[in-house]
């Protein structure tokens, strides 16, 4: 019986070692999946190069931070929900949230796909995911619907890095070669 267990263990170890060749592809896919979602969302916030879509201010002002129907623990920033009015300083802050989200949803996915500053990019998108989940739509339905998948794949990239097929790895290898003492 022990011989059978040892052979099964050896077979499993051998297959697991061969499966490691899939790691670069798996990490590339883990970078692409959330990047696609965020990039597509980011594109809707722009009318062209450096031209923010003013309709998206309304999305942030009235849907996200001043909803007609309160959402549990959601962050409400307006001064009067019925009227949808804001104090001037708060309105400016919400508009900057919209601008920052538009910039981050374009730049971070591009960096993530390229595998450049990958962990930083994944952390930024993970922070956005958690912000959305905890302060904008704090219900279990959105978490278990899509947000958990974004968070899980981004967490994998933060934990394991971009993988072999990335600019981080390529540039890191080039820097290591440049740091080698000349003989």
Does 93 score more than 70 pLDDT? yes
Does this model's pTM top 0.85? My answer is no
Looking at residue 121, its pLDDT comes to 97
Place of tokens 């003013």: 54
Q: Please, what's the b/e burial string for 97-114 (b: 16 or more CB within 10 A of its CB; e: otherwise)?
A: bbeebbebbbbbbebbbb
Contacts of 85 (CB under 8 A, 6+ apart): 78, 79
User: What's the pLDDT score for residue 175?
Assistant: 73
Of residues 61 and 168, more confidently modeled: 168
What percent of the chain has a predicted confidence (pLDDT) above 70? 94
Whether residue 126 contacts residue 157, with contact meaning beta carbons closer than 8 Å, is answered with: no
pLDDT at residue 183, rounded to an integer: 54
Cα-to-chain-centroid distance, residue 98: 16
Beta bridge partners of 48: 51
The pLDDT of residue 151 is above 80: yes
Greater confidence, 71 or 110? 110
Residues in the chain: 183
Which of the two residues, 143 and 24, has the higher pLDDT score? 24
Q: What percent of the chain has pLDDT over 90?
A: 40
Q: Give the residue extent of every domain in the chain.
A: 24-178
pLDDT at 39 over 90: yes
Question: Is residue 137 predicted with pLDDT exceeding 60?
Answer: yes
């Amino acid at each position: 019986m022990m011989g059978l267990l040892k052979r099964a263990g050896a077979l499993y170890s051998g297959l697991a070692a061969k499966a490691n060749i899939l790691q670069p592809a798996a990490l590339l896919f883990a970078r692409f999946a959330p990047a696609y979602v965020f990039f597509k969302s980011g594109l809707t916030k722009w009318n062209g190069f450096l031209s923010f879509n003013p309709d998206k201010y309304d999305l942030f002002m009235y849907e996200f931070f001043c909803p007609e129907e309160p959402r549990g623990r959601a962050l409400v920033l307006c001064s009067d929900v019925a009227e949808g009015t804001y104090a001037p300083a708060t309105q400016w802050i919400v508009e900057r949230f919209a601008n920052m989200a538009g910039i981050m949803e374009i730049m971070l996915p591009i960096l993530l796909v390229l595998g450049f500053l990958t962990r930083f990019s994944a952390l930024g998108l993970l922070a956005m995911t958690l912000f959305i989940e905890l302060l904008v739509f704090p219900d279990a339905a959105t978490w278990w619907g899509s947000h958990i998948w974004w968070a899980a794949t981004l967490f994998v990239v933060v934990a394991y890095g971009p993988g072999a097929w990335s600019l981080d790895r390529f540039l890191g290898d080039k820097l290591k070669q440049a740091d080698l003492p000349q003989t």
